[in-house]
Structure 1
């Protein structure tokens, strides 16, 4: 198993992301680390090259953002992304270019392993997750507002998972 480190904007693939951003009151933000394990073997992360790199960078940014929103101050969250299968499928069209077509049978799926550590470094929660959304097409109206961003269905799916897994447990 190979972990591929990547730098956002340069080609991507792993993003350790300590959130040391400035917050009001001098508080520290949650620390989030995202690793893509063997991304070249993922089920579907877009067309190889620029498209797949851009999609992985977008996923990393979103995972980091959700972690910052949901993980309690002082805790750290490590996410190892093991597989990605984006919503829809690329299909070749008459015009000579590929187009991602959304159908009921091609729902988004992401497999990952997470480790949540408390401020003292002890493991508070750990597990494997298979995050998927078989009803992703029913979100069309919901994701329309997010459609200007990359991967709106995957973003909505991950937002819901973070809400269930980490946000609600914070109080």
Structure 2
């Protein structure tokens, strides 16, 4: 009986190890290029975050590019009510470097780095866009390199959203580009 429990014990450990390994592999998998699905006058797509200036494959699992979809969803939500009926907006996020940087050895836990937000690390977003009229005519198009060097002076103590600086940068761009409709 002792030998049977031992085999069962090792089988259980092997199963747990396989599940843990599979879980680690899936969180380390590249998000890849993508786009928001569903009907909307605002189409948002992005390049593979692995090629971004942002250290997406850094020490923290949450920063392996999983933030790109919530950022794209925010852009879509904010842009939709700014468009006139029939207009469309196509945006491709080509590069994102979030506010802050990882500073090695700044964590109490050995081997874990964390993002330090300082005014010398402003949020930066490089995007390509096309603003189209209902007829399909191009109203405006181009590339923009967005940066908010004063992002620390505009911060809200109450806002704990980890993407607050990047979302505000996109909100500012939308107001400038679409005229605050």
TM-score when scaled to structure 1? 0.75
Question: What is residue 141 of structure 2 aligned with on the other side?
Answer: 126
Residue of structure 2 in register with 1:37 after alignment: 47
Matched, 1:14 2:29: no
Q: Is 1:102 the equivalent of 2:117?
A: yes
User: Alpha carbon RMSD of aligned pairs, Å?
Assistant: 2.1
Listed as ranges, the matches of 1:81-100 within 5 Å are 81-92=93-104, 93-96=107-110, 97-100=112-115
C-alpha displacement of 1:54: 2.2
The answer as to 2:160 corresponding to 1:140 is no
Q: Secondary structure at the match of 1:159?
A: helix
Work out the number of aligned pairs and report it. 146
Cα distance in 1 between the residues matched to 2:150 and 2:56 = 21
Gaps of 5+ in 1: 1-10, 21-30
Gap regions ≥5 residues in structure 2: 1-30
Deviations 1:97-134 (A, max 9, x none): 22110112100000011001111111111111111100
Structure 1's 101 and 50: CA in aligned 2 closer, same or farther, altered over 3 A? closer
Task: Give 1 or 2: higher strand fraction.
Answer: 1
| Alpha-carbon distance in 2 for matches of 1:116, 1:125 | 5
Q: Matched residue of 1:136: which SS?
A: coil
